[in-house]
Amino acid sequence: MSPVNRNRLASALAYVVALGPFSIDTYLPAIPRIAREFAADIQLVEASISTFLLGLAVGQLIGAPMSDRIGRRPTAFRGLTVFVLAGAGIFVCRSTAQLLALRFVQAVGAGLTIVNAAAVVSDLFKPRDVARMFNTIALILMTAPLVAPVVGAVLLELLGWRSVFAFLALYGVGAAVIFARLIPETVKVEKNSDGFAAIAGSAARSFAAVLSRGRAMGFTLCGGFAAGCMFVYLQDSAFVYMDTLGVSAGLFPVVFGANIVTMIAFNRLNRILLRTREPQRIALCGCIVQVSMCLLLLAAALPAEPTLALVMPPIMFGVGCVTLIIGNCMACFLAHFPENRGVASGIAGSIQFALGGTLGATVGAVHDGTLVTTATGMLLSACTALAFLVGTARKPAA
């Protein structure tokens, strides 16, 4: 594949994968207003983020065997249909319960779509090239968290929070067009008349084959907990900056976007390091940095009145170094599965989002209204990621 075609494919896949961050980050500035309209506690509305992450996990688990069985493109189109229809439902919802339910359904549709992106990359490239491709996709993808809160803040002020979900529905339509025109089908699908039992049995065997590879699973669990650290912050970002530190809705996209600047810097560093270093070693360095930054964040959160100047830098670097971990762990993980790439990428993605949703929900359930809870949750997640990667390095290759 020529560099031009490779970059075109990376851009198309990044647009599709951005369905996830756009679906979360665009409505972050609207969370306080949604809570007021539904007369609900802000933590309850923030739970829609955990609900969405869990829905992404379910969608990828469903979509993974579908993708291997019926093809990448048909699976993606089914997912985008669900995503768009659920977005239309959220536009007219009237309660927090309806919002939570429809966000879950919307996320399932997004998961059915996103799972195909990693599978397409793994179908087309060799392991180290997979890491480089993920790095390129991640670099393009980082524009989403920069742009999304700004788009959300503008829509919130001009048209109200419901317009955010109308925008997301239109984004889903755009993703369908991108998939149809720019992303190739990378699996050869043979027509057959197998019944549901045969299809389910085949999927179960594929899942078992992936889950039984302990060394490979160590990589994806490391990536999942590293992402979980980021998702704990993401769920609490409105609380951290707007409620606790007094940042306005207009300024929120700026302080939120500072994390993305750091992610871009680490992404560029990762690209340079991949020329001479193995993905696993780079991920290890990223985990060490993340743990260190979370320790600093906890120290900054302990005073009765934490300040933006002390809280913001460790968040920026702790979240930013995720780009040194997730893509490299994914490349190491997928290298173990020349077959069942759809199922493998689906399991990796679902674990990442399931851990993010579970950790976010857990932190929300025990939240004491201070930054200490957020910082502690991020630190525990980062330490667990490091422990899994170190443990994986000590296991013999399968």
The least confident of 1-5, 292-296, 323-327 is 1-5
Distance (Å, rounded) from C-alpha 61 to C-alpha 154?
A: 35
pLDDT for the residue numbered 342: 66
> Does position 319 have pLDDT exceeding 80, yes or no?
yes
Token pair 């199922």 in the structure block, residue: 343
Band of pLDDT at residue 109, cut at 50, 70 and 90: very high
Q: In degrees rounded to 5, what are phi and psi of residue 301?
A: -85, -15
pLDDT for the residue numbered 381: 93
pLDDT for the residue numbered 397: 47
> Does position 90 have pLDDT exceeding 70, yes or no?
yes
Band of pLDDT at residue 396, cut at 50, 70 and 90: very low
Domains of the chain and CATH, by start: 3-183+196-394 (1.20.1250.20)
Better pLDDT: 397 or 219? 219
Question: Tens of pLDDT along 186-234?
Answer: 777 655 545 556 556 666 776 776 777 767 788 889 988 998 888 888 7
Region 180-188: mean pLDDT is 80
Average of per-residue pLDDT values in the chain: 81
pTM beyond cutoff 0.85: no
Region 253-266: mean pLDDT is 82
Upper half-sphere CA count for residue 242 (Cβ side, 13 Å): 21
Question: Tens of pLDDT along 345-359?
Answer: 777 777 777 777 778
